[in-house]
Amino acid sequence: MDFLTTVPLLWGRPANIWLGIILGVLLIFQIYLGIMMVRGRMNLLKLHKINAAFLFIIALIHAYWGLGIWFFNFQIK
């Protein structure tokens, strides 16, 4: 069950860092989609929902690893 308390290294940095960068990009994309929908492009709602689901899942993993590293002594390797 080691994998539950280990954050993998990817290209020399904790995977959490990369997830954070992806989250930032997805969040900006989500807001962009929302603004476009308010401006009349309601056909983007499906993409807005799919992107929201990805945001949610990645945010959960990002938070789990982040809190684990800071407060619960997760290993990075």
Chain residues in the site for ligand HEM (CB under 6 A): 27, 30-31, 34-35, 37-38, 45, 48-49, 52, 55
6/30 with CB nearer ligand HEM: 30
Report which residue's Cβ sits closest to ligand HEM: 34
Helix axes 45-71, 15-38, angle to 10 degrees: 150
Nearer to ligand HEM, 6 or 20 (CB): 20
Residue whose C-alpha is closest to residue 55's, from 23, 17, 21, 25: 23
User: Residue 10 or residue 63: which is nearer to ligand HEM going by CB?
Assistant: 63
**Strand bridging mode 75-76 / 6-7:** parallel
